[in-house]
C-alpha cells in the first residue's frame, strides 16, 4: 500500500474516533451505535479519498494541500450530513476541517523520499 494512502486512512480512522466521541456526547451513545459507526466510516473513506488524491492540483500555490483537503472533506462529509438532514452541524464543520488535517498529515508524512 502506498505510504500516503496508509497515512490518510489511519488519520481518518483516528479522527473518526474523535467524531464518535464528539457526536456521542452530543446525541448520546445508546441507540445511536449505527450512526456513530457510520460517522467513523465516513472519516475513514475521507482518508482513503484524500490519500489517493496526492497528485490532484486544485490551486497553483503552496496552499493546494489545504484547499484540496477542505474541498475533499466537504464532498465526503456532505454524504453523512445529507443522511442526517444536516441536523449535526458541528460534525459537518469538523468533517471539512478534518479534510484539511488529513491532507496535511498525509502530504507531510506520506512522502516516499523520507527515511523510514
State pLDDT tens for residues 65-108: 999 999 999 999 999 999 889 988 999 999 999 999 999 999 99
Radius of gyration of the chain (CA): 14
Per-domain residue ranges for the chain? 3-109
Answer whether residue 114 shows pLDDT above 80.
Answer: no
Give the pLDDT score at 116.
44
Q: How confident is the model at residue 111 (pLDDT cuts 50, 70, 90)?
A: confident
Burial class (CB in 10 A: 0-12, 13-18, 19+), 95: buried
Amino acid at each position: 500500500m502506498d505510504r500516503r494512502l496508509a497515512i490518510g486512512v489511519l488519520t481518518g480512522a483516528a479522527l473518526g474516533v474523535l467524531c464518535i466521541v464528539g457526536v456521542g456526547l452530543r446525541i448520546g451513545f445508546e441507540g445511536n451505535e449505527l450512526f456513530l459507526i457510520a460517522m467513523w466510516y465516513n472519516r475513514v473513506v475521507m482518508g482513503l479519498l484524500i490519500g489517493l488524491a496526492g497528485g490532484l492540483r486544485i490551486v497553483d500555490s503552496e496552499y493546494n494541500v489545504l484547499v484540496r483537503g477542505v474541498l475533499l472533506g466537504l464532498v465526503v462529509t456532505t454524504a453523512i450530513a445529507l443522511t442526517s438532514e444536516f441536523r449535526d452541524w458541528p460534525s459537518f464543520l469538523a468533517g471539512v476541517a478534518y479534510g484539511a488535517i488529513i491532507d496535511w498529515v498525509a502530504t507531510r508524512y506520506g512522502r516516499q523520499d523520507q527515511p523510514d
